[in-house]
Amino acid sequence: MVLTRGEVGRLLEHLDGTYRLMASLLYGTGMRLMECLRLRVKDVDFEYRQILLRDGKGQKDRVVPLPDRLTDPLRAHLERVKALHEADVLAGYGEVYLTFALARKYPSAPREWGWQNLFPSGKLSVDPRDGTTRRHHLHENSLQKAVKQAATDARLIKPANCHALRHSFATHLLESGYDIRTLQELLGHADVSTTMIYTHVLNRGG
């Protein structure tokens, strides 16, 4: 389902704080829900205004532009996340989950600021994989529920969810004149035929 720009705006107005920032990233970059949730602090490059998405669909990395309007909200968000991480470290925690290969290659990385989750959970929890108490990233259900509630509060007639924000991003870029190959790269589609679906939505050729 594709939302108009006005509908996206109304949806975002009914979201607050972290959820509004996350939903804005989904619409502003076209990233997938789990790509957003798995972002690390070091993946955001303010100098070059870009975000690195690691291990996306097909285990491929890609870079997407960081929208200018989200720069200041992201900086403010990072200040709050850093304060939370520092408090965790003082309490004897502050370690984030990394894959076995990464943890073995970079032993000190789990406690380093750059590897922390960009959108951490509000509480610490025991990791059943090894018994370590960690602060994981937010659960996908939390953002999905927030977006669904925002759509209800905004009285949107169309069904709106996180994936609708990605679809809307793609459709609006095509409407603005972006070419299909650029859109394919931004969305992380392995085959351009997948991206071509959006040209059918607009009822025009690629």
CA torsion sign, 167 to 187 to 24 to 178? negative
Residue positions annotated with a catalytic role: 32, 57, 163, 166, 189, 198
Count of H helices and E strands in the chain? 10, 5
Q: Cβ contacts of residue 84 below 8 Å, gap of 6+?
A: 120, 135
The most distant pair of C-alpha atoms in the chain lies apart, rounded to whole Å, by 58
Q: Cβ contacts of residue 8 below 8 Å, gap of 6+?
A: 27, 165, 168
Give the residue from 55, 16, 50 showing the smallest Cα distance to 37. 55
- Give 117's strand partners: 40
Whole-angstrom distance, CA of residue 103 vs CA of residue 190: 29
Cα distances from 13 to residues 24, 77, 148, 202, in angstroms, run 10, 18, 13, 26
